[in-house]
Amino acid sequence: MNDDDACGLMEAQYIRRHHRHHPNHNQCTSAVFKNVRAPVPLVWSLVRRFDQPQKYKPFVSRCVVKGDLGIGSVREVNVKSGLPATTSTERLELLDDEEHILGIRIVGGDHRLKNYSSIMTVHPKVIDGRPGTLVIESFVVDVPNGNTKDETCYFVKALIRCNLKSLADVSERMAVQGQTEPLEK
């Protein structure tokens, strides 16, 4: 287990407070942690952009939003080749700018992530004596026929780890360059 998977007392409190999933017998759930060497406002400026996940998610090539970016808005995401999917339809379930919470539910697409729901939270954390961020993403998803809970959780956690590493890389690069929010494409 690496530092980004470690769950200390503070992380456990955040999980209890914000990351409540109630899996059925045929679902798996887990959480992934990532320390980011950039301040919360900068990291949150990327995470909260439901309309632009491609700013930090490396597997997203395109995103089109239907709605006003409020709760209930739906985005159609095109997935880059190399994954067992080409599209994902996702609904914004929760967006709290004060608590820094983003909740998303997958409602369609050509993939095997059925009844997938995730919660992402962003928290202040001092890292190496400087203002940093702890990002937590938790999920619940159906276990597809022919797979085990362990296999399903392993696959989803690997995707999330990749996304969070990219989020850290983008955020840290922006922090070094003195940017406070993402540039428009």
Q: Per-residue confidence at 3, pLDDT binned at 50, 70, 90?
A: very low
**How many domains in the chain?**
1
In-domain check, residue 172 = yes
User: Which residue spans within the chain are E strands per DSSP?
Assistant: 27-36, 60-66, 74-79, 87-96, 101-109, 117-127, 130-142
In-domain check, residue 6 = no
Residue % of the chain over a pLDDT of 90: 74
| Residue scoring higher pLDDT (94 or 6) | 94
Residues 128, 105: Cα–Cα separation, whole Å: 35
In-domain check, residue 56 = yes
Q: Per-residue confidence at 181, pLDDT binned at 50, 70, 90?
A: low
pLDDT surpassing 50 at residue 185: no
pLDDT tens-digit series, residues 90-131: 999 999 999 999 999 999 998 888 999 999 999 999 999 999
In-domain check, residue 1 = no
In-domain check, residue 5 = no
Residues 177, 173: Cα–Cα separation, whole Å: 6
In-domain check, residue 126 = yes
Position 2 scores a pLDDT of 44
For residue 38, what are the contacts with CB-CB under 8 A and spacing of at least 6?
132, 133, 168, 171, 172, 174, 175
Position 172 scores a pLDDT of 96
Position 104 scores a pLDDT of 97
C-beta of residue 112 within 8 angstroms of C-beta of residue 80: no
In-domain check, residue 159 = yes
Q: How far is the CA of 138 from the CAs of 61, 118, 122, 128, 130, in angstroms?
A: 23, 6, 12, 25, 26
Residues 130, 103: Cα–Cα separation, whole Å: 28
In-domain check, residue 11 = no
The domain of 129 spans 18-179
Indicate which CATH number applies to the domain containing 157.
3.30.530.20
| Residue scoring higher pLDDT (182 or 147) | 147
pLDDT tens-digit series, residues 142-169: 999 999 999 999 999 999 999 999 999 9
Residues 80, 13: Cα–Cα separation, whole Å: 36
pLDDT tens-digit series, residues 57-90: 999 999 999 988 899 999 999 988 766 788 999 9
